[in-house]
Amino acid sequence: MKSIVWKAGILFLFLVYILCNMNYRNVRASDVNQWEKEWEDSRRQMERESRSVLEKEIIFGNEDMSDEEKSTSLKSFDIDNAIPICTLSSDVTMLADYHKHGDDFSKLIQWDNRWYIPGTTMTDGYASILLQKEKDGYQVYAQYFGDDEVYIADTGQEIKDKIKKEFKNTEIERIQIISVPFYKMNLVYIKQSDGNEKIIPYQGTGATTLADINEKSGSVYSVARFISDMESAYDEYTEKELARIQEENEMGEGGIGGALLPKKKMHRGARKENGDSVTNYMIIVICSLFVVFVGMSFIVIQKKRGKNHA
């Protein structure tokens, strides 16, 4: 009898262990994918509120349209792959702001209920729709076709798959996609539960930002590494410079960032080349002046000799 009770006790404890372990694993799995659930919940809410607005952008009856018109006319959109887009408090002062906020990049990020919706044109070309929520509901702010300098990354599902692959078995607190138009970049920001911050940068058409900082589009970097690489290649505008630009009304219709260009640092090699050029120029000028001086002196001497002979 004692043997049976003892075995039953062991079996009971074993079952309790299995149940607890299964529950722990389920909690862990749920935690890891919480960011994806929040993304999808937000996307569905946006879809419910904006589908009727988006459907008005679809063009029907293209018989009388030219090929050029068709290439900039939407025939469909893929709302399932919609991407939530955040902004920074100021992309012009991103580097300084990062340090002002204790090297915590998450404190720079703002959510304005803005989305990019992938689409297809009548000529089967790529398109994207910029959608933003205002007080009276969602509005289409813009459409982009072909080479897109505004949104440059993967589709929503591709971003999710990449994150799950790169951060397998990693607890993630937050995922945010950030538009940084000043540098013609978008950033996928990953905040891990342990506090570590990661960045996946994407570059716009014609931009040289990632080449300047020696990083690759779609690769994973720590935020600290990304900021350090940016600081090695760029100087930011000071508060005084920005204030002066505002006073002189140089910012244009797009605001300060719409008129300014990033300031690339002059590296040592470039400075040395410029210094060498100036030095060579000065040598040429000095030599030329010396030749002119010698020539004029020779002429004066010859004239004096001529007078003496006379």
The 3 state secondary structure assigned to the chain is: CHHHHHHHHHHHHHHHHHHHHHHHHHHHHHHHCHHHHHHHHHHHHHHHHHHHHHHCCECCCCCCCCHHHHHCCEEEECHHHCEEEEEECCCCCHHHHHHHCCCCHHHHEEEEEEEEEEEEECCCCEEEEEEEEECCEEEEEEEEECCCCCCCCCCHHHHHHHHHHHCCCCCEEEEEEEEEHHHCEEEEEEEECCCCEEEEEEECCCCCHHHHCCCCCCCCEEHHHHHHHHHHHEECCCHHHHHHHHHCCCCCCCCHHHHCCCEECCCHHHHHHHHHHHHHHHHHHHHHHHHHHHHHHHHHHHHHHHHHHC
Q: What is the pTM of this model?
A: 0.72
Domain boundaries along the sequence of the chain: 23-261, 267-292
* pLDDT tens, residue order, the chain (310 aa): 545 545 555 544 544 444 445 433 333 433 447 889 999 999 999 999 999 999 999 887 667 888 888 888 999 999 999 999 999 999 999 999 999 999 999 999 999 999 999 888 998 888 889 999 999 999 999 888 876 555 555 688 888 999 999 998 899 999 999 999 899 889 999 999 999 999 999 987 778 899 999 999 889 999 999 999 999 999 999 888 888 887 776 554 444 545 688 989 876 444 444 445 545 556 665 656 655 555 666 565 666 555 555 5
Q: Are the C-beta atoms of 181 and 123 separated by less than 8 Å?
A: no
